[in-house]
Amino acid sequence: MEFTAAQIAGFINGKIIGDPEAVITGVSPIERGETGHLSFIAQDRFAHYINTTACSVLVVSENLLTKDSYTPTIIAVEDAYLSFQVLMNLYEQMRERKTGVEEGSYIHESAEIGEKVYIGAFTYISEEVKIGKETQIHPQVYIGKNVKIGRNCRIDCGVKIYDYTVIGDHCMIHANAVIGSDGFGFQPSEKGYTKIPQLGNVVIEDDVEIGSNCSIDRGTIGSTIIGKGSKLDNLIQIAHNVKIGEHNVIAAQAGIAGSTTVGDWNMIGGQTGIVGHIQIGNKVRIQGQSGVNTSAADGEVLYGSPAMNAGDFRRNYVHFKNFTEIINRINILERNAKEKSNE
């Protein structure tokens, strides 16, 4: 697709400085710009690229502009970062969407498939499944019985969705995620560990995005819930009966153990581990690689393992890294004190 600078400016209510007919054939990161491409500058530390980039058109925050003319065509906006997001969303919507059923897929006769749905090759759709209109099911997806998938969702290649899972509207599940597998539940006995049947399901509410290779276990009894608007990065483990509220963001390689409740608008850093059966409040921020083993109140900022107040952790870390030296100094003081007492 090709656009002119004037067309792009129209989408984001921008002001053009330069050639309004400059043609855009692609996008580039500002550090590796190419002729005919569009990029953006939203921060002062990248402002020097305005004069050196090979990009033909730049979307730039107004506060970074200091001249009346530049080599590339400039589209001046209040916030270049947000404006570029708008453009990327528009581009995504304009891309051609597939429809229809490809060869090699299996759809049970009792399944209900909405209008303008795409089902890729070698996908298996079980009995009593319902798929909303305009949803995209890519190749090699497995969908178990009685699964409900809403409107305008995207299920990428290799995703496995177990029985009775419920997925809302406008959700994205990336490649090889597993939704609704058995929770890790065993009862110890003298003879070993007896498996506890996992009879619940997973409920994913509207506007949720789940990264590739995530695993979300179904509830033992009841549901594991991912709340509206939450975004999960790749390689995340959500255990059985976890309840994640609305608009949470969780970075890669985090794990949340069973029956923990997470509130709304939390930010959980990568490689964070959260134990089971605790409550995380609202607007909590947990720094990467933290180990959370107690409940957290609203608004807390946690860091470390075991996690504590982030400010306290940073102050204490000054002493942690000098611990050997501190011990040596204490030993010297004790030795000197002992020598004086023996005089």
Catalytic pick among 37, 108, 240, 319: 240
Three-state SS string over the chain comes to CCEEHHHHHHHHCCEEECCCCCEECEECCHHHCCCCEEEEECCHHHHHHHHCCCCCEEEEEHHHCCCCCCCCEEEEECCHHHHHHHHHHHHHHHCCCCCEECCCCEECCCCEECCCCEECCCCEECCCCEECCCCEECCCCEECCCCEECCCCEECCCCEECCCCEECCCCEECCCCEEEECCCCEEEECCEEEECCCCCEEEECCCCEECCCCEEECCCCCEEEECCCCEECCCCEECCCCEECCCCEECCCCEECCCCEECCCCEECCCCEECCCCEECCCCEECCCCEECCCECCCCEEECCCCEEHHHHHHHHHHHCCHHHHHHHHHHHHHHHHHHHCC
**Averaged pLDDT for residues 151-177:** 98
How confident is the model at residue 134, as a pLDDT? 95
Percentage of the residues of the chain whose pLDDT score is greater than 90: 82
Q: Model confidence over 15-41: pLDDT tens digits?
A: 999 999 999 999 999 999 999 999 999
Report pTM: 0.83
pLDDT band at 65 (very low <50, low <70, confident <90, very high): very high
Instruction: Please say if 174 is a catalytic residue.
Output: no
Instruction: Summarize pLDDT for 92-150 with one digit per residue, the tens.
Output: 777 778 899 999 999 999 999 999 999 999 999 999 999 999 999 999 999 999 999 99
Grade residue 314 by pLDDT with cuts at 50, 70 and 90.
confident
What is the pLDDT, as a whole number, of residue 235?
Answer: 98
Enumerate domains of the chain plus CATH numbers: 3-94 (3.40.1390.10), 100-313 (2.160.10.10)
What is the per-residue pLDDT for 326?
A: 87
Indicate whether 343 pLDDT > 70.
Answer: no
pLDDT class of 274 with cuts at 50, 70, 90: very high
Work out the pLDDT band at 284, boundaries 50, 70, 90: very high
